[in-house]
Structure 1
Amino acid sequence: MKRAIVAAALALASAGTCVAFAPAASAAPQACVTSSLTTGAYEGVGTIRYKSSTSSCGDLNLTYSDDSTSTLGDRYAGRLRSSSGAWNTCNKGYVWASDGSHSVNDSTYWLCTDVRDNTPFTVASYYDGGDTVHITH
């Protein structure tokens, strides 16, 4: 009988602990989010996405690129829409990327840094539009 009471007390204590931690864990930011886009032409606008408000990433990271007209690659630039509606190329400018995957940890491919949550963004290709890119943000 005493074992059953002790076991029940431990079960209640464990359940109480889980309930106490569950809300804090659900409020934590998610890992980075990845979005697929089609690029616009030089200084143009392609697919528009919004910087994730639930992500722990602050940057727009090029993690995959596929130039639709070349097997070599292209130069890509992140572009952000301002509150006035104008599109601005990020300070990094156009970055060369061969076709394929790129490390989220390689600062070469951080197209825009310190991007605010819910900011509209797109990617432009230097040589031509219509390329497929993945942006981790």
Structure 2
Amino acid sequence: MRKTLMAGALALVSAATGLVAMAPVATAAPQACVTSTLTTGPSGGVGTQVRKSATSSCHDLNLTRADDKTVYANDGYAGRLYHSSSSSWKTCDAGFIWVTDGTYPVDRYLLCTDVNDNTLFTVVSAANSGDTVGITH
């Protein structure tokens, strides 16, 4: 009887081990959103340039922090994407979004939506350049 129980237990362990060995290997899941700190350029110009993360689960350019360098503590910010086909920068459809200095949750202020991975982007200020912004992408 004891031999039968041992053989049964060994068979269960062997079966379980076989199942574990045959389980598919999981692929790496996308990272949470990535945040980059940029210095804004002038309206229609170019500020700090960053590439949209290729490993992030975010698809948009979210304004999550703003620090206007003037005494007014607010400014309008617009995302701009580089279009290699025309070798030019284009302002995203959202245009300028006016905010006061502070931090904001993801998806509150979308500067650009559905941005392709590795797309070069920048942020510009409406009133003056040189502000610091956090862009979560």
Q: TM-score category by the smaller chain?
A: 0.7 to 0.9
Report Cα offsets for 1:26-61 as digits up to 9, x if no partner.
1x3222111110100111111000111122211111
Show the counterpart of 1:76.
Answer: 77
Show the counterpart of 2:125.
Answer: 125
Structure 1 runs (4+) greater than 2 angstroms displaced: 1-17, 19-22
Q: Which runs of 5+ in 1 are unaligned?
A: none
Q: Which runs of 5+ in 2 are unaligned?
A: none
1:16 aligns with 2:21: yes
Show the counterpart of 2:40.
Answer: 39
TM-score by length of 2: 0.83
What letter corresponds to residue 121 of structure 1 in structure 2? F
Distance 2:35 2:61 in 1: 9
Report Cα offsets for 1:47-96 as digits up to 9, x if no partner.
00011112221111101110112352110000011112211111111001
TM-score by length of 1: 0.83
Q: Cα distance, 1:10 vs. partner? A: 7.0
- Identity across aligned pairs (percent)? 53
Q: Cα distance, 1:118 vs. partner? A: 1.1
Whether the 8 Å contact between 1:71 and 1:99 is mirrored in structure 2 is: no
Alignment: residue pair count: 131
Q: How well do the aligned residues superpose, as a CA RMSD in angstroms?
A: 2.1
Q: Which has the larger radius of gyration?
A: 2
